Amino acid sequence: MTPFRSPMPLPPSVAPVSTTGGIDLYRIPIRPAKVEIFPGTTTDVLSFGGAFMGPLIRAKAGRRVGVVFTNQLGEAANVHLHGGHTAANSDGHPMDVIEPGGSKPYEYLNRQRGATLWYHAHEHHTEAEHVYRGMHGFYVIDDDAECDLRLPAGPYDVPIMLRDALFDDQHQLVYDDPGNRPTILVNGKVQPFFRVAARKYRFRLLNASTERAFDLRLEGASMTQIASDGGLLPAPVPRPQVGLWAGERVEVVVDFAQVPIGGHVLLLDGDQPLLRFDVVRRVPDGSRLPDRLRPLPPLPAPTVFREVAFNIDFTGDPLPVAQVNGQPYDPERVDFRVRRGTTEVWTVRNADPVPGPFPVPHNFHLHMTQFRVLSRNGGPITLDDAGLKDTVALPPGHTVQVQATFEDFLGQYVFHCHFLEHSWLGMMAQMLIVE
């Protein structure tokens, strides 16, 4: 394919069907669809609402959102709002599924800071294939404190979903070896272009791959990070390079003001160009990139300490068994009992042996609350670990310490490796939050 021939689409928008009673209500079918990924042909996908990227839901901090998802797939499905501080019955627990033909209302309270979240399939054993086939969409929480900063907004605030894929000769998605997905899709297109004005933009980057990690950089302009998974950083951070692992989000401001009209800026993964920004016009720029953004919440003193180890037992038959603390996921088992309101430190370890035979990268995703990464391998954290996080990288041999406070909700939540082929093989466990 000739690069930079297709425009990068934006996620489809969706209007609430009702805004009364203090809640914005949406209805989104989960259904098979045919979408145009390659010009002039269609690809079969599983979709939220009929497009390859689900509709962009824009919520406001403190105001409730309800989404009624109707399952028109012919097999069980469900939805998890990744990064959401959500009551257990709306969290999309892997065993809490919507049967074919059924529907389920999910309630999102948005009692959290402005952040870039995403929603995706999470029913146990099919989550990886369903996400791969298109069950992924953006969910952005805006908040007033953030609006006052006058960061780039409106058409200059752009969500960008990155993910990998393997296509056959008929341009159909092949669900097979996660290590063999050579095509990168940017908002559902291969190497698209995006026309920009010579001014500042806010880009909300999401890695919606089931396993792949991106090593992102720009050629022709520079990136300044302003937010991670859970919202704004205390201050902007120049980032020549950003590691973005499966499930993570990073927000950057890019200023195209120094690029001549007609000039280009490339977004690359390593040396592979993913997206070309074409600077096409001058416009006044009333936005700002302030020196200070928003302080992180204070870290209370932790009172409970736990260990979490991820590994894969390759002697499993017929499939390897992926484990947390030596056991594959069992929905009947409560792994951790957490008292509501407690602040805990979890030491999370990639326990696959290094060196080999099979050193495997993992990452750690916690439902229900954002956490802070305190240390990596006993030392300081990296720039990729900074801020409020819900997903953190665990390369072979790595250990991170994370701290979280479990407020507001009771009930059962999972934590797992967000390499979704690992979670479906059992690299998932659950906590029960009790009074």
Contacts to Cu ion by CB under 5 A: 362, 417, 419, 422
By residue count, the chain amounts to 435
Q: Which is nearer to Cu ion, 104 or 422 (CB)?
A: 422
Q: 215 is written with which tokens?
A: 């090593």
Phi-psi label, residue 233: left if phi above 0, alpha if psi -120 to 50, beta otherwise: beta
Q: Which is nearer to Cu ion, 305 or 358 (CB)?
A: 358
Distance CA 321, CA 422 (A): 9
Distance CA 24, CA 16 (A): 6
Q: How far is the CB of 338 from Cu ion (least distance, A)?
A: 22
Provide the CB-side half-sphere exposure for 276 (13 A, CA).
Answer: 15
| Residue 343: strand pairing partners | 405
Phi-psi label, residue 9: left if phi above 0, alpha if psi -120 to 50, beta otherwise: beta
Q: Which is nearer to Cu ion, 141 or 360 (CB)?
A: 360
Q: Which is nearer to Cu ion, 136 or 422 (CB)?
A: 422
Q: How far is the CB of 363 from Cu ion (least distance, A)?
A: 7
Distance CA 180, CA 168 (A): 12
- Alpha carbon distances (Å) from 270 to 187, 215, 407: 19, 5, 39
Q: What dihedral angle (degrees, nearest 10) is formed by the CA atoms of 310, 430, 98, 211?
A: -20
Q: How far is the CB of 54 from Cu ion (least distance, A)?
A: 24
Q: How far is the CB of 254 from Cu ion (least distance, A)?
A: 31
Q: 28 is written with which tokens?
A: 């989104």
Q: Which is nearer to Cu ion, 362 or 372 (CB)?
A: 362
Distance CA 267, CA 142 (A): 26
Provide the CB-side half-sphere exposure for 195 (13 A, CA).
Answer: 9
Q: How far is the CB of 422 from Cu ion (least distance, A)?
A: 3
Q: With beta carbons less than 8 A apart as the criterion, state whether 55 and 13 touch.
A: yes
| Residue 236: strand pairing partners | none
Q: Which is nearer to Cu ion, 238 or 359 (CB)?
A: 359
Q: How far is the CB of 96 from Cu ion (least distance, A)?
A: 22
Number of Cβ within a 10 Å radius of residue 333: 10
Q: Which is nearer to Cu ion, 294 or 349 (CB)?
A: 349
Q: How far is the CB of 15 from Cu ion (least distance, A)?
A: 38
Q: How far is the CB of 419 from Cu ion (least distance, A)?
A: 4
Q: Which is nearer to Cu ion, 158 or 394 (CB)?
A: 394
